[in-house]
Structure 1
């Protein structure tokens, strides 16, 4: 950075009046007061916020999702920055009632790209400056399907919500939920006025051990199944007012 210095040089002239008597020096009154101002103008931050390590959100190292199909974050100032895709992997067809646990999410951390297992999570940023609060919901847009085959009666459940942030603002509230394939919205996170400013993550499971059992898919044994991948779509909605 180039610094430019301005130097002001003043000249003080002292006049001595010489009369027939002793010399006299003219002087002004000392002191006084004068006011000045300092200001800063904040504007909403509309840049895209990158994903953070949900277990260490204050870590300044660059974080990159491993999943190539993760959805892109929305632009600020109030934004959904990241949502984990939920993967249950390969499972053997069974005629019994089964509960499958979701795989952990993964990120690459730092220049070395060290791969780290993390809980599945969603990340929200509020850089509006209004401190008005916000509300995040999710809905399941239909049952898991594989072509014409549907996992009738299957239930997707998210448990053990855990919040984390590098922000020092008051925390939002996080909830667990079970999704309804009919499309009913479920609460995920909610911030009242003066809560949830900055970047916040909701993990499903506070650590790897808890996270390994926190998102489940229950499938009845009587549900007919065919070989292949079953998929469902989840829609997450962030609104700019509390619930």
Structure 2
């Protein structure tokens, strides 16, 4: 196509010179000349994710470095992908004989200071406690939509004994979706609160022509007021409800396995 452009431009130049050199040709030349040219664009699948970026859940225009991501990074580089899944901790929960709600500590991320040579170091005085979030990227180009669900196991003792805290429920609230993508393409199905159980619970679904690009699915942005000497803030939006009558073992760590599923065709209407 470059050759075609050169030929047409040369023709235009020759015609112009002809006008300048031979005024008698002016009566045979139209007042305007229209030429056509083409461009070639080959669209490749969005699978090369070497430049994958991680965004702040409350400000998608800001980016996080890999070493500062508050969750588990998915090393896959598919064009439809869960980039980040959150990790929750409820350290500091005390045993009680009554129903209790325990709240997850908010992830803490540090700002990084640039150094010569392109390296960085953590700024220990600059940090933010942010929302737990899931990052979704849809770079397929088909704009066909997707949906995200979550399910969870029982709250089991980490020592492998099989002991569990019966009746414990993990609850998410204040769920939002943010992106640098125009808000008119925001996923239209968003459950603002869910209770995690053994069945898939729908968090968010993008219909056709929604959810393109990278989205931070934030699990709320409210925090509990804590003592100024408390090392971490706790979020109101990630809550573990534990019945008072449930058996609990002192100094035991309990674990719940969460399964996040991203489907390429939304089943929700």
TM over 0.5, shorter chain: yes
Answer with 1 or 2: which has the greater Rg: 1
Is the CA contact (8 Å cut-off) linking 1:124 and 1:200 kept in structure 2?
A: yes
Aligned to 1:103: 105
Q: Evaluate the alpha carbon distance shift between residue 60 and residue 223 of structure 1 in structure 2; reply closer, same or farther with a 3 A threshold.
A: closer
Please list every run of at least 4 consecutive aligned residues from structure 1 whose deviation after the TM superposition is greater than 6 angstroms. Answer: none
Determine if the alignment matches structure 1 residue 178 to structure 2 residue 195.
yes
Q: Distance in 2 between matches of 1:190 and 1:13?
A: 64
Deviation per residue, 1:117-175 (Å, 9 max, x gap): 10111110111000000011111133333332211111111111122111115111321
Which 5+ residue runs of structure 2 have no aligned equivalent? 1-5, 114-120, 226-233
Aligned to 2:29: 30
Report the TM-score when normalising by structure 1: 0.81
Q: Which of 143, 152, 165 in structure 2 is aligned with 1:140?
A: 152
Q: Evaluate the alpha carbon distance shift between residue 141 and residue 174 of structure 1 in structure 2; reply closer, same or farther with a 3 A threshold.
A: same
User: Paired residues, what number?
Assistant: 227
Cα-Cα RMSD = 3.0
Identify which range, 100-109 or 195-204, moves more after superposition: 100-109
Determine if the alignment matches structure 1 residue 225 to structure 2 residue 228.
no
**Equivalences for 1:29-48 in 2 at 5 Å?**
29-31=28-30, 32-48=33-49
Aligned to 1:21: none
Is the CA contact (8 Å cut-off) linking 2:148 and 2:262 kept in structure 1?
A: yes
**Deviation for aligned residue 1:46:** 1.2
Q: Distance in 2 between matches of 1:120 and 1:83?
A: 9
Q: Distance in 2 between matches of 1:202 and 1:158?
A: 12
Which 5+ residue runs of structure 1 have no aligned equivalent? 1-5, 17-23
Determine if the alignment matches structure 1 residue 65 to structure 2 residue 68.
yes
Determine if the alignment matches structure 1 residue 214 to structure 2 residue 237.
yes
Aligned to 2:211: 196
Identify which range, 162-171 or 111-120, moves more after superposition: 111-120
**Deviation for aligned residue 1:106:** 2.2
Q: Distance in 2 between matches of 1:78 and 1:209?
A: 35
**Deviation for aligned residue 1:47:** 3.3
Is the CA contact (8 Å cut-off) linking 1:43 and 1:129 kept in structure 2?
A: no
Q: Distance in 2 between matches of 1:207 and 1:96?
A: 25
**Deviation for aligned residue 1:242:** 1.3
Aligned to 1:19: none
The structure with more helix, counted as a fraction of residues = 2
SS of 1:27 mapped into structure 2: helix
